[in-house]
Amino acid sequence: MSTSNGRPLMTVDDYRCRAQKLMSSEGWSFYNDASGRRSTYNDSMEAFDRYVIRPRILRDVTHRTLSTTVLGQPISMPICVAPTSYHRYAHTSAEVETAKGAADADTLFVMSCYANASISDVSRAAPGGLKWMQLYLFKDRRISEHVVKEAEKEGFKAIVLTVDLPFTGNRAFSQKRPSGKYYQDPTFRPENLAIDIPEIHKAIQSGDVCIRRFLEEQGESPQTWDDVRWLKSITKLPIVLKGILTGEAAREAADAGVSGIIVSAHGGRQIDGISSPIDALTEVVSAVKGRGVEVYMDGGVMSGTDVLKALGLGARAVLIGKPVLWALACEGSSGVKNVLSILGAELDSALAISGCTSPNEIPSNLIGRKSLL
């Protein structure tokens, strides 16, 4: 059992409290950044309380399993690691440790293209783990194509294209202040984006503030559905779109031939006042029903009952971000594995008490909206 100052770390909140004491103020601020008044950031967690579990009774739940699949690949539980950037704030080995923890938990790790570790290092650290690669479409498409080809070469099984960042949101942390490790420390450089082209070499030679700003400008690239089709043209890997919150966008995604959708509000970091992911989930699931598109959700998941509610509303799996970063800061890969195990154990208990034996056999009426009851 994991401990903090002799006390066991038994919940996600235990890890949060301990991580805040261990992390630098800069790292804590970066991970907890949000847009505007933080309304969407806060509502993504609070929204789960708008839903209730309607347990089935007198069901034999002796034999249960949490195992499922994502895009046909088996995982031990429908709880995966969301793409988040700059893991070096939490651990010196950065995403290498995170990938190890996810592999040890036998679940999916989605790696951010803004990782501090290289794709090849992560692949070597967790050779048996299921890995997907998150991507932005940069103005210079050579950068995006490089990430895709490296992911293919290293055995990643899907490309996760983030589609809700045509421009960087109004975040408190990201006011382009050239201070701290984010801008000044070369070990915080996005390892997989510093590719071998003249523009990158020039920016690096001018200093890390310049390479950071160059990449930020490259990332502010308004995209269209033609860009999704371009991405499909350069890879045979399945494409998953992250950042969809409406049925209309979900239908367009299905029309574009994607394999999956992640219902996400970008952690509340992009724009305030949009829907929480759990509130948008039913609409998105309904919009692509029968289209062969798997739907996942990230945002605000802090407990096993949160996971059950998302699954009951139609998500194939959930992805978690901050709890993984907190665990990484506390205990490295073992912490990542443990926090995933905690959530898995909570989900298993919630399934059993609700009269269910598998995440793939949750009845459609298990979750209800409080206001309608």
- Kindly report, residue by residue over 198-208, the tens digit of the pLDDT: 888 888 787 76
Positive or negative: CA dihedral 157, 163, 167, 169 = negative
The C-alpha atoms of residue 373 and residue 368 are separated, in whole angstroms, by 7
Residue spans of the domains in the chain: they are: 3-372
Give residue 45's pLDDT. 86
SS3 assignment, position 51: strand
pLDDT in tens, 102-130: 999 999 999 999 999 999 999 999 999 99
The C-alpha atoms of residue 240 and residue 319 are separated, in whole angstroms, by 13
Is residue 87 among the annotated active site residues? no
Give residue 92's pLDDT. 95
Tally of residues, the chain = 373
The C-alpha atoms of residue 160 and residue 238 are separated, in whole angstroms, by 9
Give residue 167's pLDDT. 53
SS3 assignment, position 256: coil
Give residue 373's pLDDT. 46
Helix (H) or strand (E) holding 183: helix 180-184
Phi, psi of 81 (to 5 degrees): -100, 120
CATH 3.20.20.70 corresponds to the domain 3-372: yes
Give residue 221's pLDDT. 66
Closest listed residue to residue 326, CA positions, set 45, 87, 33: 87
Give residue 116's pLDDT. 95
| Active-site position among 87, 91, 146, 266 | 266
Q: Tell me which residues of the chain have a pLDDT lower than 50.
A: 175-176, 373
The C-alpha atoms of residue 65 and residue 286 are separated, in whole angstroms, by 26
Give residue 308's pLDDT. 98
The C-alpha atoms of residue 369 and residue 367 are separated, in whole angstroms, by 7
